[in-house]
């Protein structure tokens, strides 16, 4: 049994987001040791957790209690209900604990969350990543996200200005046609 076979994904209910806020924040604190991390203040994240338009999928092993050992999260929030460029869109991100990276978990989680987003009737997904984050760019490319633009020296990371790249996925383009998790995983291997 591979690592992917032992994973579970759970969408947190609104009350659970608040209940697990400290555990979720631990993921961010570990993530912030990464040279690609764009930091957000804890107070801002806790405020975002209270927003019902913000969804969090937690990743855990099936033999563990998700309230005790979360190994990652994939979150998304409604960008703007009236966005003329990306109507019916969400912005999406993923964080995986360092020791579980490069094992296909990010791809597995993204593909599951994309299907969930499509079922909810959204038509676009947007993502951002630093230009130097090659692993994330690889993942987005494998999941058919399209590069749209780069903002040079846009975000400060470890006292340096870094380029931020924007990607989107048009769910109206038959994205899921013939692409199950198996297809995603084959690309990743």
Q: Which residues are paired to 54 by β-bridges?
A: 77
Give dist(CA 37, CA 85) in Å, integer: 27
Q: Which residues share a beta bridge with 121?
A: none
Residue (of 40, 3, 35, 27) closest to 97 by Cα position:
27
Rg over alpha carbons for the chain, rounded to the nearest Å, is 16
pLDDT of residue 174: 55
Report yes or no: 117 and 93 within 8 Å, Cβ to Cβ.
Answer: no
Put simply, whether the predicted model's pTM sits higher than 0.85 gets the answer: no
Local confidence pLDDT in tens for the 189 residues of the chain: 578 888 999 899 988 888 888 888 888 888 777 777 777 778 888 888 888 888 999 998 887 777 778 899 999 988 765 566 667 889 999 989 888 888 889 899 999 999 999 999 998 899 999 999 898 999 999 999 999 999 999 888 878 888 999 999 998 865 555 445 444 434 443
Domains delineated in the chain: 4-188 (3.40.630.30)
Using CA atoms, how far apart are residues 45 and 66, in angstroms rounded to an integer? 20
What per-residue confidence (pLDDT) applies to 186? 42
Rounded CA-CA distance 74/60 in Å is 12
8 A C-beta contact, residue 104 and residue 3: yes
What's the N-to-C CA distance of the chain in angstroms?
16
Q: Give CA–CA dist 9/70, Å, rounded.
A: 10
Determine the 3-state secondary structure of 20 from DSSP: coil
pLDDT tens digits for range 30-60: 877 777 777 777 888 888 888 888 899 999 8
What is the structure's pLDDT at 144?
Answer: 92
Which residues make beta-bridge pairs with 124?
89, 170
User: What angle separates helix 181-188 from helix 134-142, to the nearest 10 degrees?
Assistant: 140
């Amino acid at each position: 049994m591979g690592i992917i076979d032992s994973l579970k994904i759970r969408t947190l209910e609104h009350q659970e987001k608040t209940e697990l806020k400290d555990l979720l924040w631990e993921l961010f604190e570990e993530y912030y040791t990464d040279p690609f991390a764009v930091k957000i203040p804890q107070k801002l994240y806790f405020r975002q957790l209270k927003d019902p338009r913000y969804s969090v999928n937690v990743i855990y092993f099936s033999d563990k209690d998700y309230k005790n050992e979360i190994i990652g999260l994939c979150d998304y929030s409604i960008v703007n209900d009236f966005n003329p460029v990306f109507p019916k869109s969400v912005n999406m991100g993923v964080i995986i604990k360092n020791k579980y990276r490069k094992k296909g978990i990010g791809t597995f989680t993204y593909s599951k969350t994309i299907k969930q987003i499509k079922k909810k009737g959204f038509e676009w997904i947007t993502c951002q990543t630093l230009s130097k984050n090659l692993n994330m760019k690889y993942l987005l490319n494998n999941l058919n996200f399209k590069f749209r633009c780069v903002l040079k020296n846009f975000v400060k990371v470890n006292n340096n200005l870094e380029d931020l790249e924007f990607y989107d996925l048009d769910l109206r383009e038959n994205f899921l046609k013939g692409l199950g998790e198996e297809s995603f995983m084959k690309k990743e291997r």
